[in-house]
Amino acid sequence: MTATIARIATRPIRIPLRRPWGPDVRDLSVVEVEVEDSDGAVGRGFSWTPTIGAAAVRAHLDHDLRDFALGREAEASALWDPLWAHLHEGGSGGITTIAMAGLDLALWDLAGRRAGVTLTDLIGRHHQTATVYGSGVNLHYSRDELVAQASRWVEAGFDAVKVKVGSPDLARDIERLAAVRDVLGPERGLMIDANQRWSLEQAERAIDELAAFDLTWIEEPLRADDLAAHVELRRRIEVPVALGENLHTRYRFAEFIDAGAVDLVQPNAVRVGGITPFLRIADLAAERGVGLAPHLLLELSAQLALALPGEHLVESVEDASFEALGALAAPSPVALVGAAASTTGQPGLGVRFSNELTDAAASVPPTEDR
C-alpha cells in the first residue's frame, strides 16, 4: 500500500548573517518543514526567504498546503502539479512556490532517507564534484574590503568570482571592477550582478563600459519581470546575460529562453517550488541549449548540480552557507575543498537545522498535525 502524508509540521528559524548583505539584511529567515508519512518515515525540508515573507510562507504551509496535502501520496512528483493547480488562484509564484518548496524538499528528503542515499544519488548522479565560484553581496563594501574579499577567493582556489554592481555613480563600479580584475588576473572568470538596478538605457551604457573587464556574464541587469526590455538589451550588448533567481515557474523560464533574452538561467530551487520543478527547468534549459547555474543555497544547489548532465557552476556566497553560519545540527551534505564541491554521504537532503535556532519574532506559534 502506498504511504500517504500523515503529518506536516513547521518551525520558523532566523539565522544571523556573519557578513550582512546590507543595512537591512542582517539575517536569513527559514521555515523548516517536517513531513511524516503513514508508515512513520520522516523527511525535512525548508522554505527560505532572506528578508520578506517568512510569516506568510509559514501561514500558507500551515493552512492551504497542509489542508490539501494530508492523506495524499507521500511522493514529491505526484503531489507537485495538483498542489500547484490548487494554489494557483492565490498566485502562480512567489509566496506560493516558496511555500511549496518546503514540502517538496521534505518529500525528497523522506524518499532519500528511505532509500539510504544522498539526494544526488536519488535523482541520479552524473558527477563526483561540481565547480564552485566565489560570490559576495558586496555593493556596500568599501573598495579595500572588496579587494580583500577577492583576494580571499583567489587564495581559496576559486577560478571565477562574482561581484555586485549598480552604484549610483558608474565611475565607482568601474574603479571597483578594475581593482578586482587586478587581483584575479586575466585567467580567472569575473561575473557581475546588478540586482535589477538599471533601466534599459542605464544597462546598455554600464555594460558597454564594464565589458572592458572581460565579463563572463551580467546578472539581472533589469527588472526581472520585464521580458521586452531584456530582449532589447540582449540585442544591444555582447556580454552574456544571466537571470532567473526571481523567476518562479517553468513557464516564465520558457518565455525568457524562447524570446532570446537570456544566455544562462539561474533557478533558485526554493523560489521555483522545490526540486521537482527545478529539474524540469534544468531539462528545459538543456533542450533549448541554454546554460544553467543554480542560485545560492550551496548545500542544496551543489547536490542538484552533481545530478545534472553537463557542467554547472555552483554559487558560494562568502560565509553564507548554512554550515558557515552555524545553522546545522548535523554534518553538512556538501563538502567544499578549494573550488570543488562534493557530497558527504548524508542521506536524503541532508540539511538538519539546529534545534537551538528559532525566530522569536514569529507571530504564529509552532504547529503540527498528528
Mind telling me the catalytic residues?
164, 295
What's the chain look like in SS3?
CCCEEEEEEEEEEEEECCCCCECCECEEEEEEEEEEECCCCEEEEEEEECCCCHHHHHHHHHHHHHHHHCCCECCHHHHHHHHHHHHHHHCCCCHHHHHHHHHHHHHHHHHHHHHCCEHHHHHCCCCCCEEEEEECCCCCCCHHHHHHHHHHHHHHCCCEEEEECCCCCHHHHHHHHHHHHHHHCCCCEEEEECCCCCCHHHHHHHHHHHHHHCEEEEECCCCCCCHHHHHHHHHHCCCCEEECCCCCCHHHHHHHHHCCCCCEECCCCCCCCCHHHHHHHHHHHHHHCCEECCCCCHHHHHHHHHCCCCCCCEEEECCCCCCCCCCECCCCCEEEECCEEEECCCCECCCCECCCCCCCCCCCCCEECC
Taking the C-alpha atoms of residue 270 and residue 246, their distance in angstroms, rounded to an integer, is: 11
Q: Rg of the chain over CA atoms, in angstroms? A: 20
Taking the C-alpha atoms of residue 41 and residue 233, their distance in angstroms, rounded to an integer, is: 50
Count of CB atoms within 10 A of residue 168's CB? 7
Count of CB atoms within 10 A of residue 140's CB? 14
